[in-house]
Amino acid sequence: MAQTHWHILMNIHPKHSSMRGSGTADPMSRLPLALMVTGLLILIVGGSIRINDAGESCPEWPTCFGKIHPFVSAEEQLEWWSDNPEEADSRHDYNPDHTYTAFQIFIEWLHRLLAGIVAIPVLFNWWYVRKRKNELGEDMVGLAFAGGILLILQAIAGYITVKFDNADWSVALHLTLAVCWISVFIWQWLLWQARTRGLNRVNDITPEHALSVIPRLRLLTGAVLLLLILGAWVASTAGGEYNKGCSTGFTNGWPLCQGQWLPSMEQMGELVQMVHRLGALVIGGALMWGSVRMRELVRETGRGEVLTRFVEASTGIWLLNVLIGGVYIITAGAEGFIELLSLLHLIFGVASFLAIMTALLICRVAIMEPFHVEEE
């Protein structure tokens, strides 16, 4: 019955449960984990681009001011702008002689370089899994292939982001694809470990248990992803000016908005800020409710401890991230915001999403590769 439901949900067939717990230590099974870590590094570098105002420091794609390296002088930048006036970004509306620093250009170039280099192990990952598909399964090949497709889509999204001068919707799309790409390799790693080594300590739930909590976890995962997208919207809309849409300082800017719990929201900055804050409040409440319910299931069944800890971790990270967001607003002064806090806000938001996503994927692996309870 559980397998029938799974075919409907994911159309992935669990053919290789006989391999579970075989104890085979394949060093290549760590490759998806390495790709996940690399993906996080690329994401952090991408966040660093924004806080250093370097999002348009390479105004074309894939080259940078017509060069394949990041060493572009101010004179060369101005010459390129003169030859390509249609590519001028918003900063040139205020200062036609604006140029980017060497560091700004370098981190944008580094972000692109890392995204290009990672294509090699992504391709190798697909080739290796495909070569062992009789042992690892067609579904594992599908996950490795999905990782490659998402990387291509990420490259396209990067081009679009540059082409549209970091429009809010393009930034949100770029971030969404990034966390989905990382999630694919978490899924592949969990499944690979289950099929070759047996993750009984992590994946100790039955398919029936997994099916009972998947709808709840899917809802929570989608909600946290929505909150992440809202955050990208706030950070990139109007060049980030809406970060101070509710004013700054304690308490006028946070936890209040313009000194009120519920402002008029007639100004777009107030509206954007309040949508993000109210979304964080609602989704945080849902996470806390989900944590309580998952803990109750552990007490009732004696299983799913690690699964529940991931849900609780997502909730705890969310709470800490609310405080980071508040400190970001409170500490802003005449010189602007402490942008390192903005990067931390992004990192913790992504971590909260990946924690709840991992809980969902543990359940899916439990169905694809059932845990067999030994009879006493």
* Each residue's pLDDT expressed in tens, for the chain with a length of 376 residues: 434 333 333 444 444 433 444 445 678 888 999 999 999 999 999 889 888 888 788 888 888 988 999 999 999 988 888 888 877 776 766 777 888 999 999 999 999 999 899 999 999 999 999 999 888 889 999 999 999 999 999 989 988 888 887 788 888 899 999 999 999 999 999 988 888 765 555 567 788 888 889 999 999 999 999 989 888 887 776 555 667 777 788 888 888 888 888 887 777 778 888 888 888 999 999 999 999 999 998 888 888 888 899 999 999 999 999 999 999 989 987 677 888 998 999 999 999 999 999 999 999 988 886 544 443 3
Domain regions of the chain by residue span: 1-16+201-376, 21-78+99-197
| Local structure of residue 375 (DSSP, 8 states) | P
Burial of 334 (0-12, 13-18, 19+ CB in 10 A): exposed
Residue 226 to residue 132: CA distance in whole angstroms: 37
What pTM, to 2 d.p., does this model score?
0.85
Between helices 268-301 and 305-330, what is the axis angle to 10°? 160
Retrieve residue 235's tokens. Answer: 């950070």
